[in-house]
Structure 1
Amino acid sequence: MPKTLSGTAPLIISPFRHRFDPAEFCLLAYSSYELRGVVGVLPDEKGDTPSLWDMAGRNLPRNILPTSEAEEYGRWLLNCASALRLLTPPDAIRVSGQRWDLDLQRTVDRFKPHQYGETVYGWYGVHVGILSLGDEGKAITKHALAALQARRR
């Protein structure tokens, strides 16, 4: 598996509260790559990115078996990100045709079959990492950062 994934699949970017402090928002991005969901975080104005994996760990029960931790974390992240598509916040940005790159941090290649089938929110797995839009996407990134700053007020 490559360390960086690139795609042009439709993308949703939105401020997302990742801690209980009202000022703790990040830019969460949701897209797809092949048959897997893509959940990424964009760097903020300082270049900081919270760890999505740590975010999932803070929000899930502590009694997860170590053998299923990656799958449970991946499911939780897909849940949060796919909600952007279903309940799109007013300050979210929908982008089509824009190239994006994901600095891959974790992958759940294939979810285990479960009572509802083999997919989770329509995906067979999930890629998690830091997403960037490159030079062509500077205007989109700037707009997303403005929405992030407005949420922090």
Structure 2
Amino acid sequence: MSNTKTNPSEQSTVDAATARATEALDTNPLGVLAGGLALGAIAGALLPRTDREKDLLRPVGAKIGATAVAAFAAAKEAGRAEIEQRGLTKESARDQAKSLFENVVKAASGAASAGAKTAKQEATGKADAPDSTGGTGDSVPAADPHKQIMAAETDMGSIRSAV
């Protein structure tokens, strides 16, 4: 035993620190463990590696790398098999994307036409009068932008479920 005497204020500081550490360990043991692992990893990263460590750990690193490559290949093959099982191909995905794009273009075109027509009506201060067919005289019937957007969303949903 040492003959050194501690100052009462130093002893109370040590006691308080010990009490805080004990409380932290009791209330959050996983947090303390994670903190200890983090400190250990930092210390290990800062210390230089010895040749002996390199020689001993090289086979372990090679094995881990080979296992990771094999796991990646297995996951890739399982994903490919699942896609094939669902009948999905590059061509079907391309067709769905093309259909989606066409519907989005139609919806945007219909919305732009409706917006231009409304702006024209507001600028002239009058609505188009119906022609003999009951329409407004347009050579092409106005597309319903809401229906086109709904069709595009349906196409998008089928692409999401396919992937």
TM-score clears 0.5: no
- For normalisation by structure 2, the TM-score amounts to 0.20
- For normalisation by structure 1, the TM-score amounts to 0.20
- Between Structure 1 and Structure 2, which shows a larger proportion of helix residues? 2
- Between Structure 1 and Structure 2, which shows a larger proportion of strand residues? 1
Looking at both structures, which has the greater relative contact order when contacts are Cα pairs under 8 Å and sequence separation is at least 6? 1
